[in-house]
A and B are shown apart, each in its own frame.
Chain A
Amino acid sequence: MSVEEPIISFENITKTYTLYKSDQERFKALFLNSKHFKKHIALNDISFQVKKGESVGIIGDNGAGKSTILKMITGVTYPDTGSIVVRGKVAALLELTAGFSLEMTGRENIYLKGYILGLNDKYIATIEQGIIDFAELGDYIDQPVRTYSSGMKMRLGFAINISIDPDILVIDEALSVGDGKFQKKCKDKIAEVIGQNKTVLFVSHSMSGVKEVCQRAIYLKQGKIMFDGSVDEAFEMYQSNKAAAKK
């Protein structure tokens, strides 16, 4: 029997943020072992696996550790202990306008993003035109990105991320991509990608959004996984927890 390897695997991940009492302590910590700091635990010994083709919703209050998980999957931040395995290209539809170099043209930024994601010239050249068409930038593509409107930047950011043929798609529901028409186009495109048996991680507060996309949900509270299973049950627990906290 062959067991398929999970595409994302978190094993006993703990992440703490170090908070120094003052800037002096931070400076001292460069040279000495300072003891004057507090630890804020963002993720507390969490483990989960995601199989290829699965769509998983991540729910929880602000500060529960959702974005820390996403940042680890995209390779921006690192855990203190535990091991993470992510197999394949990750497209992050989180902060679409991030990571652009403003003085470079849109076209140069396509290449920059591509290189960061580990693609080569040849491959980027094949997807270049598709990105430009999807983002509807026209002649602006050869202008510096600093001259773009915020909507144009988002469109370009979305187009690049969705066009790199990702294996894993990371989506924040609070994602906004400009006017209604383009929003619809993006939603259709996301649906299309999800339909291609891609792995999706979806961060959200709304039950309907998660239900639409995911079969499974992980409920996080204060850095711990409270529940990992069906979407209905996860939200049930989330809501009863919230209600209990209010009392």
Chain B
Amino acid sequence: MFTIFKEHRHFGKQIFLLAKNELFKTYKGAVIGPFWAIVKPIFTLFVFWFAMELGLRGGMGKSPMGQPYFIFLMVGFVPWFFINDTILLGARSIRLNSQFVTKVSFPISTIMTFTTLARMFVNLFLTLLMCIVLICTGYHPSLYNLQFFYYAPLMFLFFVALCWSTAPMSAFSKDFESLITSIMAGFFWLTGIVYYTGDIKIEWVKQIMYFNPCNYFVNGYRYTFFGNQMPSQGSISRWFFGPDQLSQTIIFFVEFAFIILLGIHNYNRLRRKLPDVL
């Protein structure tokens, strides 16, 4: 922890610059450049809406939480885009920035921070677009929206800490990177994005789903952005500290602590080997 903390001191401004730089790198050279950051998610969202709502559900209308399915899907997808990009790009981040590892004495843990931060910028923009769509479709702001300032920073920190493990391990062994890519392809379906985990009828499966930290964010975003209009959810608490969600919040924080410890362990264990293997 202290190594990582020390590496970040006095480097704050530089992290912002490098994050900005990261975005340029990702989107330069394309004709519509930064618009790809929006076009891809919109297209993905449309395809899933089409397949799920019109194809599978035959255009039934209401979603598991009582909104039009498109709204339900959109609010679930916005955090997922961040999660997916951060896990995949985060794992590759050290390899992609290998010149900082092998050529100069660089605070390596900041590589994961600025990579994640760059994805966060994109995600904040997507969130803004989502808010516009929500307001236009009659989902007006409510006090629950304030939870965004809890979930978004928490999501950022959680995935930075996850990268402390995945990035050095992927840099060390390319097979580990492939393993993550494979896992992520399937992990989407194990996370409640196209469905609501609370609707699962088999109780023990439903309970297990609470242990997937991605569900914590995806469902959290839903409570945050349309918590005031959830007719099918009755009087369930929409606050992360409310009686219905407290146990999930506790599970999440236990997992978070574990990921932090694991990350520190893996980072410290591999940090010194990285210049020799890249």
Which residue numbers of A lie inside 8 Å of B, CB to CB? 17-18, 23-24, 26-27, 29-30, 71, 74-78, 95, 98-104, 108, 111-113, 115-116, 118, 120-121
Q: Which of A23, A27, A102: most chain B Cβ within 10 A?
A: A27
* A113 CB contacts on chain B under 8 angstroms: 104
Query: Do the beta carbons of A78 and B272 come within 8 Å of each other?
Result: yes
- Tell me whether A74 and B105 are in contact in the complex, defined as CB-CB below 8 angstroms, given that A101-B18, A104-B17 are known contacts: yes
Q: Does B258 contact A (CB under 8 A)?
A: no
User: What are the residues of chain B within 8 A of A75 when measuring CB–CB?
Assistant: 105
The 21 sampled A-B contact pairs (Cβ below 8 Å) are A23-B173, A26-B175, A27-B173, A30-B172, A30-B173, A71-B275, A95-B103, A98-B99, A99-B106, A100-B99, A103-B21, A103-B24, A103-B25, A108-B17, A115-B10, A115-B11, A115-B13, A116-B104, A116-B107, A120-B10, A121-B13
List of A residues within 8 angstroms of B18 by Cβ: 101, 112
The answer to the question of B276 belonging to the interface, with a C-beta cut-off of 8 Å to chain A, is yes
Given B14, B28, B176, B272, which contacts A27 in the complex, CB threshold below 8 Å?
B176
Q: Which of B18, B102, B104 has the most CB of A within 10 A?
A: B104
Q: Which residue of A lies closest to B17 (CB)?
A: A108
Q: Is B139 an interface residue (CB 8 A)?
A: no
* Nearest-Cβ distance from residue A201 to partner chain B, whole angstroms: 16
Residue of A nearest to B266 (CB): A30
Contact with A along B99-122 (1 / 0, CB 8 A): 111111111000000000000000
- A116 CB contact (under 8 Å) in B24, B25, B28, B105: B105
Q: B169 interface residue, CB < 8 Å from A?
A: yes
B175-A23 in contact (CB<8A) = yes
Taking CB atoms, residues of chain B closer than 8 Å to A104 are 17, 21
Residue B174 at the A interface, CB < 8 A? Answer: yes
Residue of B nearest to A28 (CB): B173
Could you tell me if A76 and B173 are in contact, using CB atoms closer than 8 angstroms?
no
A71 CB to nearest chain B CB (Å):
7
| Contact assessment for B104 and A27 in the assembled complex, using a CB-CB cutoff below 8 Å | no
> Which residues of B lie under 8 Å from residue A103 when comparing CB positions?
21, 24-25, 28
CA distance A100 to B13 in the complex (A): 17
A99 B104 Cβ-Cβ under 8 A: yes
Q: Which residues of B contact A (CB under 8 A)?
A: 10-11, 13-14, 17-18, 21, 24-25, 28, 99-107, 169, 172-176, 272-273, 275-276
Q: Given A99-B99, A101-B21, check contact A76 B14 (CB 8 Å).
A: no
Are A26 and B172 neighbours in the complex by a CB distance under 8 Å? Answer: yes
Residue of A nearest to B18 (CB): A101
A71 to B105, CA, bound (A): 9
- Whole-angstrom CA separation of A101 from B118 in the bound complex: 15
A115-B10, A115-B11 known; A26 vs B103 contact (CB < 8 Å): no
Partner of B174, one of A23, A100, A108, A115: A23
Contact of B275 (CB < 8 Å), options: A18, A77, A116: A77
Alpha-carbon distance A21/B18, docked complex (angstroms)? 36
Beyond the given pairs A76-B102, A77-B272, 11 more chain A to chain B contacts, judged by CB atoms under 8 angstroms and listed by A's residue number, are A26-B172, A26-B173, A27-B176, A30-B173, A74-B104, A74-B105, A76-B101, A99-B99, A101-B18, A112-B14, A112-B18
Q: Answer whether A98 and B14 are a contact pair too, CB < 8 Å, given A26-B173, A103-B24.
A: no
Contact among A27, A76, A78, A102 for B103, CB-based, below 8 A = A76
Q: A24-B175, A115-B11 are in contact. Are A30 and B169 (CB under 8 A)?
A: yes
Shortest distance between the CB of B166 and any CB in chain A (Å): 11
Nearest-neighbour CB distance to chain B for A119, whole angstroms, equals 9
- Residues of the A chain whose Cβ atoms lie less than 8 Å from the Cβ of B17: 104, 108, 111-112
Give CA–CA (A74, B101) in the complex, Å.
Answer: 12
Chain A hits for B276, CB < 8 A: 17-18, 77
Pairs A-B, 8 closest by C-beta atoms: A98-B103, A75-B105, A99-B104, A27-B175, A78-B272, A103-B24, A27-B173, A77-B275
Chain B residues with CB under 8 A of A115: 10-11, 13-14
